[in-house]
């Protein structure tokens, strides 16, 4: 009867992955503290509207669409709309857009968003190529208006 060698490799990793008592004890830098305390803008009316409508769309639930939503969150139309909202917000924060200019731009965007919503509702959730081209042109015009008011 022979006796073999038994090797028992045990590795113990005592790494903590949280901040606080018994954890890492990390503290924010002075730059992070400044950012935490600076003024933050409220979401625009269009951003709130987008959030609310997306939250009420049961077709966006994975349990309903099996992980394949019918409406992409950031298709070219919505992605562009999102970017333009960011540009408007930047114009507000930098002081380059007045309250009146902001109201005008957001009103135009709200009208365009309503038009997109109605067109999609009439076409099973999609825009026709002609509607997409028209929306693109309107977004170009809105983009130019945002640019002109910020320069």
In whole angstroms, what is the distance from residue 76 CA to residue 54 CA?
A: 17
> What pLDDT, in 10s, does the model give residues 54-99?
777 777 777 877 777 666 555 566 677 778 888 888 888 888 888 8
**What are the sequence ranges of the domains in the chain?**
71-151
Residue pair 94/121 in contact (Cβ under 8 Å)? The answer is no
In whole angstroms, what is the distance from residue 48 CA to residue 64 CA?
A: 24
Q: How far is CA 13 from CA 16, 18, 64, in A?
A: 9, 15, 41
> What pLDDT, in 10s, does the model give residues 115-132?
888 888 888 888 888 888
R_g over Cα of the chain? 25
> What pLDDT, in 10s, does the model give residues 7-16?
677 776 666 6
Q: Is the pLDDT of residue 1 over 60?
A: no
In whole angstroms, what is the distance from residue 87 CA to residue 149 CA?
A: 11
């Amino acid at each position: 009867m022979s006796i073999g060698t038994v090797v028992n490799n045990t590795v113990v990793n005592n790494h903590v992955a949280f901040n606080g008592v018994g954890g890492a004890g990390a503290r924010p830098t002075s730059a992070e503290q400044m950012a935490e305390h600076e003024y933050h803008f409220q979401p625009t009316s269009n951003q709130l509207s987008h959030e609310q409508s997306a939250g009420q769309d049961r077709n966006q639930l994975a349990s309903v669409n099996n992980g394949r939503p019918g409406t992409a969150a950031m298709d070219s139309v919505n992605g562009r709309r999102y970017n333009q909202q960011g540009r408007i917000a930047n114009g507000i924060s930098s002081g380059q857009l007045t309250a009146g200019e902001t109201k005008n731009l957001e009103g135009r965007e709200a009208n365009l968003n309503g038009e997109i919503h109605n067109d999609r509702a009439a076409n099973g959730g999609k825009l026709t190529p002609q509607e997409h081209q028209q929306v693109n042109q309107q977004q170009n015009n809105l983009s130019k208006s945002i640019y002109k008011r910020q320069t």
